[in-house]
Amino acid sequence: MLGTQAAERLPMPAPTPAPSATSRRRAGRPTAAVLDQDGITTAALQLISRKGYDGLTMAGLARSLGVAPSALYNHVSSKDDVLVLLEDHLAAMVDVSAFGVEPWDVAVRQWAWSYRDVFSEHTPLIPIIAVLPVANAPKTLAMYEAVTAGFREAGFPEERIISAIVALEAFVFGAAYDVTAPEDIFDAGNLADQVPNFTAAVDRLALEKHERPTDVAFSLGLEALISGFGTLRG
Amino acid sequence: MLGTQAAERLPMPAPTPAPSATSRRRAGRPTAAVLDQDGITTAALQLISRKGYDGLTMAGLARSLGVAPSALYNHVSSKDDVLVLLEDHLAAMVDVSAFGVEPWDVAVRQWAWSYRDVFSEHTPLIPIIAVLPVANAPKTLAMYEAVTAGFREAGFPEERIISAIVALEAFVFGAAYDVTAPEDIFDAGNLADQVPNFTAAVDRLALEKHERPTDVAFSLGLEALISGFGTLRG
DNA sequence: CCAGTAAATGAATGCCATTCATTTATCTCC
DNA sequence: GGAGATAAATGAATGGCATTCATTTACTGG
């Protein structure tokens, strides 16, 4: 009655979501899926890149897929579930290719930098991944497998491999946040006189205008971890 | 009309919030503050310890203070502002007492463990602190000053002090998340056969039943950072 | 052709942070 | 000691959010 557009009553056909809908069909079941988890994941990524994580709402995601918000719940059980899909998708983008090919320290370096870079654009996922059972994230699990195999091949004592990976990962996550911090985060403002040592050290760092400070800190910490862990190898 | 309780119309007097209201009076200005930032902070901490961070809502916080939600906005500009108050309060609880007293490595160890323990109970604050300009958090700034002074006294090259602290902090934040992870986070479930190296390493770790795995990983990473950074001292 | 079902709709729910016009109580100044 | 200013409270209203549910649609296999 209210709307003037035609075809408003036809629910199913819905103009297939612009890009890669990928609509897989599961054998022996009703097909015609307008939506699936892959499509939701890529639409969410696009939405995030356009509007950031504040723009990632179930309503917005549904709109970008040409679908009602409630329709999403046939494919994901909650918004957190969407975040898990995103996380797992991103895990597959982390570079583990050097493990088993390059020397151990080179591989770890490459993995860690890549891991940090991927998630520094997606810090809202960190609280999710840090606590996510790996069984719910197959691509994340695959990443761990590659890294673990690399450590083992490099002669790492088996009982320390997981601990070392967990420690490296903790450092990577924290560093990912650091990337997003404002440049002037360490400007003490009017409190500067009360913290002379700190202010001096901040000023001193500012003089070295080579790399981004966040990259210097990451490199410093990562190299310490690599050389510290390197001594554990048999 | 609806309510049956007496005295409902009297707005100001409000039964002073049970515990430490601390009501400071600012000279030369109207006093009678039922609310202030200290009171809000401690009420928020109590609320969190009772109901967790999901229970920390502006409405709930106001209720626990015997006040209307809108009243809070006379003292904080947003909920994020409340989180900043919390963060700064917690920063003051981090143990920096060993800097300048104990040897450098002992002081760093004590600081880092304490820092992690404090924030592992308050991980929702990590995205806040990681990006918070220090000028808005005086107690946090004081912590940095103490740490910086300790590094300097220990002969650390000035241009690397901030980077080292940032790296340590990144590790601490990531490790704080790790503490909150479920025990079975590394259980691969039915995918276990596809990740044999990983599964083996996880099982191997499980055999060593001494400490919490999260503490083992933290110790491993922290000691690597300490020994790696230790070589920088002059 | 029929019955079943996956997948869509859209209206409704409840919670949330935040805003605003208004009121009250106190302080400062004359 | 009264006038005016102001900090600090109220409570009603707003808009956004994730999520639920009864209902409808169109495809499927028997």
What pLDDT sits at residue B2? 31
> What's the average model confidence in pLDDT over B57-82?
97
Residues A216 and A107 in one domain: yes
Residues B211 and B137 in one domain: yes
Predicted confidence (pLDDT) per residue in A143-170, tens digit: 999 999 999 999 999 999 999 999 999 9
> What's the average model confidence in pLDDT over A37-60?
98
Residues A130 and A66 in one domain: no
Least confident of A97-111, A214-228, B25-39: B25-39
Q: Where does chain A have alpha helices with state H? A: 37-51, 58-64, 79-91, 104-120, 126-129, 138-153, 158-179, 196-207, 213-230
- A50: pLDDT confidence band, cut at 50, 70 and 90? very high
Residue A112 within any structural domain of the chain? yes
Of the residues B198, B205, B222, the best mutation for testing chain A's interface (the one with the most A CB atoms within 10 Å of its CB) is B198
CA→C1' distance for A69 and C12 (Å): 14
Residue A195 within any structural domain of the chain? yes
Of B133, B159, B161, the CB nearest to A208: B159
What pLDDT sits at residue A17? 36
Residue A84 within any structural domain of the chain? no
CB A222 within 8 A of CB B171: no
B162 interaction partners in chain A (CB closer than 8 Å)? 186, 201-202, 204-205, 213, 217
Residues A162 and A94 in one domain: yes
CA→C1' distance for B224 and C5 (Å): 58
Nearest CA in chain A to B218: A167
Strand C and A58 CB separated by under 7 Å = no
Are A135 and B190 in contact (CB < 8 Å)?
Answer: yes
Q: Tell me, what amino acid is at A65?
A: L
pLDDT at residue B4 is higher than 60: no
Residues A224 and A122 in one domain: yes
Residues A113 and A221 in one domain: yes
Tally of domains in chain A: 2
Residues B173 and B208 in one domain: yes
- How much of chain B exceeds pLDDT 90, in percent? 82
- B133: pLDDT confidence band, cut at 50, 70 and 90? very high
Min distance B39 CA to chain A CA atoms (Å): 24
pLDDT at residue B24 is higher than 70: no
Domain with B94, as residue range(s), is 90-230
Residues A140 and A50 in one domain: no
Residues B39 and B130 in one domain: no
Mean pLDDT estimate for chain B: 88
Predicted confidence (pLDDT) per residue in B195-215, tens digit: 999 999 999 999 998 899 999
Residues A98 and A193 in one domain: yes
> What's the average model confidence in pLDDT over A188-206?
97
Predicted confidence (pLDDT) per residue in B92-111, tens digit: 999 999 999 999 999 999 99
CA→C1' distance for B183 and C14 (Å): 34
Nearest CA in chain B to A148: B198
Give the domain-ending residue among B76, B102, B127: B76
What pLDDT sits at residue A32? 57
Cβ neighbors of A129 (< 8 A, separation 6 or more) are: A87, A91, A119, A137, A140, A173
Cβ neighbors of A22 (< 8 A, separation 6 or more) are: A36, A38, A39, A42
Tokens of residue B161, six digits: 């002090």
Name the residue with higher pLDDT: B43 or A12: B43
Residues A59 and A148 in one domain: no
| Residues 125-164 of A, Cβ under 7 A from nucleic strand C | none
Residue A134 within any structural domain of the chain? yes
Mean pLDDT estimate for chain A: 88
Give the domain-ending residue among A50, A76, A102: A76
Residues A38 and A136 in one domain: no
Report the helix count and the strand count for chain B, using DSSP H and E. Answer: 10, 0
Pick the closest to residue B218 from A39, A169, A50, A69 (CA basis).
Answer: A169
